[in-house]
Amino acid sequence: MSHGLSTAHTIPSSWYTDARFLEREKERIFWHTWQPVGHAAKVASPGSYLAVEIAGEPCAIVRGNDGILRAFSNVCRHRASTILEGNGCAKSLRCPYHGWTYSLDGALLVAPEFEGVENWNRSDVRLPAMRVEEWGPFVFVNVDSQTPALSEVLGDIPNQVAALGCPVSKLHFSYRRDYMIRCNWKVYVDNYLEGYHLPAAHPSLFRELDYNEYRVDTFRYYSSQYAPIRPPRPGRDEARRYAAGDGDDRALYFWIFPNFMLNVYPDNLSSNIILPVGHDRTLTIFEWFTYPKGEETKDISPETVAFSDEIQQEDIRICENVQKGLASRSYDRGRYSVKRENGVHHFHCLMEEFMKGTA
């Protein structure tokens, strides 16, 4: 198991640079954890469906006529064509290759011209089920049937989000921005999990936050960051972006193992989903949701998106530099700041736990 933070080393650089390691991560991590795959609003009505991939594994999410949300393998049992594409609404699920048709709960209804096939019963054929759960605006799927329930993984997060006044079931999707980054997905996650790089790498963000109070708390499958906005100093902080001082400067930042982040503010919530595209290529999806205010719901402000984008560009530069360095023959492992990098260490301990016996 893991050593204490003060004696520990970071995970080996080969975990970030070896394409074969990503294949093992799919099997050990991405197909064994709750993966955020889309918006609950897209599969709200009976017959609505959403086709997604979980680390390359085709998955269909379908709302049944009984109102139950189900997830299946999106692979036809005949000759393995994928069945559904994109997002839509259907009465049944028809494979586009030879027209085998499945019910909304995954049972095979029709297999044209399949008489005379021996040792085969239409009624025995179904699309293999996966677990699916909803929380707030998100749908999560877990390919593995044995791992803890979503509620267990999220722990106290739903309570804390509710306590901040965020109505998760009423959020309005406002805006999405994607970034493709030339680094391993863990480089991006490592970077998200510490405030240690704020002074050197994010001067404008550093001015906004009370760095001395910055803190990372770790739990079983997630960590949270406490980053209070600094009160302005009279005469010196005209250029500050956040006014603070209006008393409502609370914010919550959560990272949920392995690749989901939630940033919760008094008037909006944003998520970051971190998807490995290759061992050295990562897609980060940023989405903003706003809260209903009385009758109307405002969209996220362009200033909020622009500030996030400025920080993200700074992080992208850092992450791409780190990926280059990790591939260097001169580097393998580093050490952690005890004061500032406990969140990175926590992530690495989870990596070691899930990858045990493979490396």
- In the complex, the residues that contact Fe ion under the rule CB under 5 A are 315
Minimum CB–partner distance for residue 46 and ligand FES (Å): 24
Tokens (6 digits) for 321: 């530099």
Residue 211, exposed/middle/buried by CB under 10 A (0-12, 13-18, 19+)?
A: middle
Which is closer to ligand FES, CB of 76 or CB of 154? 76
Choose which of 17, 28, 69, 81 interacts with ligand FES (CB under 6 A).
81
Q: Whose CA is closest to 208, among 234, 235, 237?
A: 237
* 98 binding ligand FES? (CB under 6 A): yes
Give the contacts of 38 (CB within 8 A, at least 6 positions apart): 50, 52, 61, 87, 138, 139
Choose which of 61, 95, 274, 344 interacts with ligand FES (CB under 6 A).
95
AA letter at 102 = Y
Select the binding partner of residue 114 from Fe ion, ligand FES, none (C-beta < 5 to 8 A, by kind). Answer: none
* 127 binding ligand FES? (CB under 6 A): no
C-alpha distances in Å from residue 296, one per residue of 20, 73, 79, 137, 164: 50, 39, 49, 18, 20
Select the binding partner of residue 94 from ligand FES, Fe ion, none (C-beta < 5 to 8 A, by kind). Answer: none
- Stretch (H or E) spanning 254: strand 252-256
Ranked by CB distance to Fe ion, the top (closest) residue is 315
User: By rule CB under 6 A, what count of residues binds ligand FES?
Assistant: 9
Which is closer to Fe ion, CB of 126 or CB of 197? 197
Choose which of 23, 45, 56, 79 interacts with ligand FES (CB under 6 A).
79
Choose which of 26, 28, 32, 78 interacts with ligand FES (CB under 6 A).
78
Choose which of 31, 100, 222, 336 interacts with ligand FES (CB under 6 A).
100
Using an 8 Å Cβ cutoff, are 304 and 268 in contact? yes
> Cα-atom radius of gyration of the chain, to the nearest Å?
23
Which is closer to Fe ion, CB of 315 or CB of 341? 315
Judged by CB under 6 A, the chain residues 58 through 77 that form the site for ligand FES are 76
Which is closer to ligand FES, CB of 100 or CB of 286? 100
Which is closer to Fe ion, CB of 73 or CB of 304? 304
Select the binding partner of residue 100 from ligand FES, Fe ion, none (C-beta < 5 to 8 A, by kind). Answer: ligand FES
Which is closer to ligand FES, CB of 95 or CB of 143? 95
Angle at 103 between CA 101 and CA 107, to 5 degrees: 90
- Stretch (H or E) spanning 133: strand 129-135
- Stretch (H or E) spanning 49: strand 48-54
Bridge-partner residues for 57, per DSSP? 54
Minimum CB–partner distance for residue 85 and ligand FES (Å): 13
Select the binding partner of residue 139 from ligand FES, Fe ion, none (C-beta < 5 to 8 A, by kind). Answer: none
* 108 binding ligand FES? (CB under 6 A): no
Using an 8 Å Cβ cutoff, are 36 and 273 in contact? yes
Q: Whose CA is closest to 87, among 43, 121, 28?
A: 43
Minimum CB–partner distance for residue 201 and Fe ion (Å): 6
Give the contacts of 247 (CB within 8 A, at least 6 positions apart): none
Select the binding partner of residue 315 from Fe ion, ligand FES, none (C-beta < 5 to 8 A, by kind). Answer: Fe ion
Binding site for ligand FES (CB under 6 A): 76, 78-79, 81, 95, 97-100
